[in-house]
Amino acid sequence: MSGTKKSEYEGFTAEERAAMKEHAAEQKKAARKGSAAEKAAEAERDVLAKIADMKDDDRVMAERVHAVVTESAPQLAPKLWYGMPAYALNGKVVCFFQSAAKFKARYATLGFNDAARLDDGAMWPTAFALTKITPEVEEQIAALVKQAVG
């Protein structure tokens, strides 16, 4: 079969592999012994440290997203998920922030997993591009997060 086109797919990118390694480390850390309160406090410290390590625009947006999410839905627990800030309810990630730099993307992302109650008919958005956090965007995020937790 000479002349057949070789696939361009070479496997996971370096960024994807790094995210998977971070997730494995997060799972291992979560399995360690300790009280729920200690684990929750450590998880929040980890999220804040990860946000602090982000590059300028991503860091500013992640700080605002963190503030809006924790204010709008205090029942969500901050945690790292694939190396990114995420917010979980009963152990299931509801929403997450993905920096643009993480996967060399054009924009940061606010995403929602299937635990989020955003259902609206037969199709609805679960990820939103973020290029800047304005007061209007903060209001939209707050409304989405409140809807997501029901």
> pLDDT value at position 8?
74
Angle between helices 36-53 and 56-72 in degrees, nearest 10: 150
108 phi and psi, to 5 degrees? -75, 165
| Location of structure tokens 């291992």 | 28
Ranges under pLDDT 70 in the chain: 1-7, 9
pLDDT tens, residue by residue, 86-121: 999 999 999 999 999 998 999 999 999 999 999 999
Average pLDDT, the chain: 92
> pLDDT value at position 1?
47
> pLDDT value at position 4?
58
- What's the gap between Cα 3 and its chain centre? 43
pTM: 0.83
